[in-house]
Amino acid sequence: MARITAGIATSHVPAIGAALDNGRSTEPYWKPLFAGYEFSKQWIARQKPDVIVLIYNDHASAFSLDIVPTFAIGCAASFQPADEGWGPRPVPVVEGHPELASHIAQSVIQQDFDLTIINRMDVDHGLTVPMSLLFGQPERWPVRVIPLAVNVVLFPPPSGRRCFELGKAIHRAVETFDDDLNVQVWGTGGMSHQLQGPRAGLINKEWDNRWLDRLIDDPDEVARIPHIEYLREAGSEGVELVMWLIMRGALHPEVRTVHRFYHVPASNTAVGHVILENIT
């Protein structure tokens, strides 16, 4: 049987990818950020997950304004890194897991979550930056990935409650897959940041850390936070944090925090990162 063993949350700032791709990760500006992921790289090398269900948002790369799915699951065998305007990132092709992805799609649709099925999609920094942070720069990614794209660009994104419940549905779906797979669920994006307008640069360290405390210990309460609080407190792009609730919903109510990291800034953004293990 497949089982979800752990969840990871991390920001997915594009400048982090650029720093790594351009060999600048040891510069004084970036060093403390990458240091926050050293434990995580060693941890995941021991964990050896077979599949990651990677919750992220597309940033006008695969989805233009022609089609804007609220939740879209990638069922393809592979996904190419997207050209976001400066050429694709020099990272490996992302290999999917079509069997488990299709199983999750069928299962969660029958649990009333109407996912859009995607069989061809390029994946942008929202997905590849977390991969780089956890796996570095290998020739091939050592894991298969099921991309699950959430609309957080065109307001309104799905509610925190909806995301949390989708996570629970994904948990039930994975646990009914027959193959013996070690599955992780990752939630990405955030934390506080605003990239646009005269209020750009907003960071709310206190709010971020309180939110993270509650995500771990009282996710039911965090799931009730309305969008307007994210927009006011964590900036217009901070609303991406609802994606972390999908990860949290996919884990057990009680989890063990094995790593937690917070850093300001990466370009315009507060970086948060946490590893949660299911207590078995």
Partner 1 sequence: MALEKPYSDIPGTVIFDADQARKGYHLNQFCMSLMKADNRARFKRDERTYVDEWPMSEEQKQAVLARDFNRMIALGGNIYFLAKIFSTDGKSFQYTAATMTGMTQEDYAAMMLQGGRSPEGNRRVGETPAREGSDEEAQ
Q: Which two tokens stand for residue 212?
A: 């993270």
Q: Which of 121, 169, 165 is nearest to 146 (CA)?
A: 121
User: Which residue's entry shows tokens 């039930």?
Assistant: 172
Site string for partner 1, 14-43 (x = CB under 8 A): xx----------------------------
Query: Does residue 273 have an active-site annotation?
Result: no
61 binds partner 1 (CB under 8 A): yes
Question: Toward partner 1, which CB reaches closer, 83 or 218?
Answer: 83
How many residues are listed for the chain in this entry? 280
With CB under 8 A as the contact rule, the residue among 26, 48, 66, 140 that binds partner 1 is 66
Cβ 163 to partner 1 shortest distance, Å = 19
67 binds partner 1 (CB under 8 A): no
Q: Interhelix angle for 205-217 vs 242-249, to 10°?
A: 20
With CB under 8 A as the contact rule, the residue among 92, 98, 142, 265 that binds partner 1 is 265
Query: Does residue 193 have an active-site annotation?
Result: yes
**Virtual torsion, Cα 150, 49, 6, 40, nearest 10 deg:** -90
Contacts (Cβ under 8 Å, ≥6 apart) of 247: 7, 8, 9, 55, 167, 185, 186, 187, 276
Q: Which two tokens stand for residue 1?
A: 């049987």
Q: Which of 245, 241, 273, 250 is nearest to 41 (CA)?
A: 273
Cβ 231 to partner 1 shortest distance, Å = 5
Q: What is the DSSP letter of 235?
A: -
Site string for partner 1, 109-148 (x = CB under 8 A): ----------------------------------------
Asked whether 71 and 164 are in contact (CB, 8 A), the reply is no
205 binds partner 1 (CB under 8 A): yes
90 binds partner 1 (CB under 8 A): no
Given 12, 59, 125, 273, the catalytic residue: 125
Q: How far apart are CA 120 and CA 123, in angstroms?
A: 10
User: Which residue's entry shows tokens 């942070």?
Assistant: 133
Site string for partner 1, 153-182 (x = CB under 8 A): xxxx--------------------------
Beta bridge partners of 145: 52
Asked whether 84 and 59 are in contact (CB, 8 A), the reply is yes
Question: Toward partner 1, which CB reaches closer, 25 or 184?
Answer: 25
User: Binding residues for partner 1, how many (CB under 8 A)?
Assistant: 45
207 binds partner 1 (CB under 8 A): yes
Given 59, 193, 263, 273, the catalytic residue: 193
Question: Toward partner 1, which CB reaches closer, 17 or 49?
Answer: 17
CB under 8 A: which stretch of 91-99, 136-144, 215-223, 266-274 binds partner 1? 266-274
Asked whether 213 and 276 are in contact (CB, 8 A), the reply is no
Asked whether 60 and 104 are in contact (CB, 8 A), the reply is no
Residues serving a catalytic function are 125, 193
Residue numbers at the binding site for partner 1 (CB under 8 A) = 14-15, 59-61, 64-66, 82-87, 153-156, 192, 194-207, 227-228, 231-233, 236-237, 264-265, 267-268, 270
